[in-house]
Amino acid sequence: MKRIYLILSFAVVCATCVGYFYMTNRPEYLASKSEYIPTFFSLPKEDFTNLGNQFCIDELHSQGRRFEDFGSAHYVLKISDLHPNIREVMIKNPSTIRTVSSLILSIRRADILGTFELKHNSCNATAHYEQIYDD
């Protein structure tokens, strides 16, 4: 009897871990909070975390077509000067576009298109996510 409870407990723990991993890696989840911007764009987290929770200056969310849709999200960010390697990482990424005023990295994950723009000679950046509809 104890063995059955042990097996069931192990199965529940495993199912919970798999469910948590699945839910926290969905594009909608990663785009829903500013803390997950480095994960969504595969950028070094230390460029964001050295400022504490003050790296996000402003954020704006809007609803999609239906209530359960993601819609869009826009974040204004302050990037740390202590780790300038974020520019190097962005330049090495083949999805990055280099303009006169900024570096722009665009990544699509499932139906969420994310755009990260980092200004040259500045610590200011923006991240914008929008849901893509295929109709």
Residue 51 has pLDDT above 60, yes or no: no
Are 103 and 96 spatial neighbours (Cβ–Cβ below 8 Å)? yes
CA distance 23 to 21: 6
Q: How far is CA 9 from the centre of its chain?
A: 33
CA distance 75 to 6: 46
Are 54 and 78 spatial neighbours (Cβ–Cβ below 8 Å)? yes
Residues 76-99: tens digit of each pLDDT: 988 877 666 888 889 899 999 999
Nearest to 126 by CA among 51, 46, 41: 41
Predicted structure pTM score: 0.83
Residues 58-72: tens digit of each pLDDT: 999 998 888 888 999
Residue 135 has pLDDT above 80, yes or no: no
Nearest to 28 by CA among 126, 109, 134: 109
Spatial neighbors of 43 by CB under 8 A, at least 6 apart, are 37, 86, 89, 90, 116
